[in-house]
Amino acid sequence: MASSAVDGVADGTADDGTDAAVTSDDGAVDAALASDEGAAEDGAGPLVVHTVAELRALRPRETRAVVMTMGALHAGHLALVREARRRAHEVVVTIFVNPLQFSSAADLETYPRTLDTDVALLRAEGVDVVFAPSVEEMYPGAQPQVRIVAGRMGEVLEGEHRPGHFDGMLTVVHKLLNLTAGDVAFFGQKDAQQLALVRRMVADLNMGIDVVAVPTVRDPDGLALSSRNVHLSPTDRTAALVLSRTVLAGARAAEQGRPPAEVLEAARAELATAAPGDVRTDYLELVDPVTMSPYPDVGGAGDALLVIAAQVGTTRLIDNAVVSWADPGHR
């Protein structure tokens, strides 16, 4: 889920479809932690609950917003929280490292768990409730026998390289949406396929909750924020910048009126500037942002999404950009 968010559930297109990106501010995180020291002395929230019974005992206010994360919060997660705070009377943040999303037991074991720091950051943002359940609380007895299956949309792109990941993500998102009883949920645009699948699940199952996309948050050099970035060496981090340059090159080609095939060519040309061996690409594709199917060379309707995933050093990263044509005739 957010790791981005769920990086899972956390991070550019705004919810109105306009291309957007947010620049991170590491100082803002430090300031939030400093601010929290005073808030803690005043006994300010959030209320931290660990059980389903505690969560269900809380009566929702007029509008409840939900932000789902796996913890290890960064500025990308906080952007989700701020948008939730702006739109709703009450904000609930979930922190749960979901074992169903990990194919490697070692990755699950080493995933950072920083609850105290996360709560401090959320306190400074005015979050009302933090739901931080244990694995046993979420999946009593064993892993669930009944799960959400992502279907064809979950078998391509990320799903091809991480089999079963989206089934685990949708299962826990569905469960958390039921438990938190939110009116609106916020997800990061960085995890574009996750966002599309959550929207499809909500529509297909008539869940009655609004799903809002929040723009990707980037460092000043363009790198999309991810909890995985901490694993990048200085050399790897420099090499990783080709991902954001690649999707931006494609987006600019569309702005210049070039057709879909040439948009992809422009992106591939930028990706080719990476030093051999520095970046090992899993995929670079132009897709429909709703279905995640390949965007047609002719006759496409609406915006497209340029998505990339690559291994940089020992770290796997993803990025994307919305591709828009001013003149629909160029599609």
Determine which one of 77, 89, 165, 330 is catalytic. Answer: 77
The CB density around residue 255, as the number of other CB atoms within 10 Å, is 14
Rounded to whole angstroms, the Cα distance separating 231 from 256 reads 36
Alpha helix locations (H) across 73-113? 75-87, 105-110
The Cα–Cα gap between 109 and 289 comes to: 33
Is there a contact between 185 and 68 (Cβ–Cβ < 8 Å)? Answer: yes
Q: Is residue 46 reached through a cis peptide bond, with omega within 30 degrees of 0 on the bond before it? A: yes
Q: What is the DSSP letter of 18?
A: -
- Tokens read off for 99: 């074992």
Burial of 126 (0-12, 13-18, 19+ CB in 10 A): middle
Is 77 assigned a catalytic role?
Answer: yes
CA distance linking residue 177 with residue 175, whole number of Å: 5
Handedness of CA 226, 287, 165, 96 (dihedral sign): positive
Radius of gyration of the chain (CA): 19
Among all residues, which ones are annotated catalytic? Answer: 77
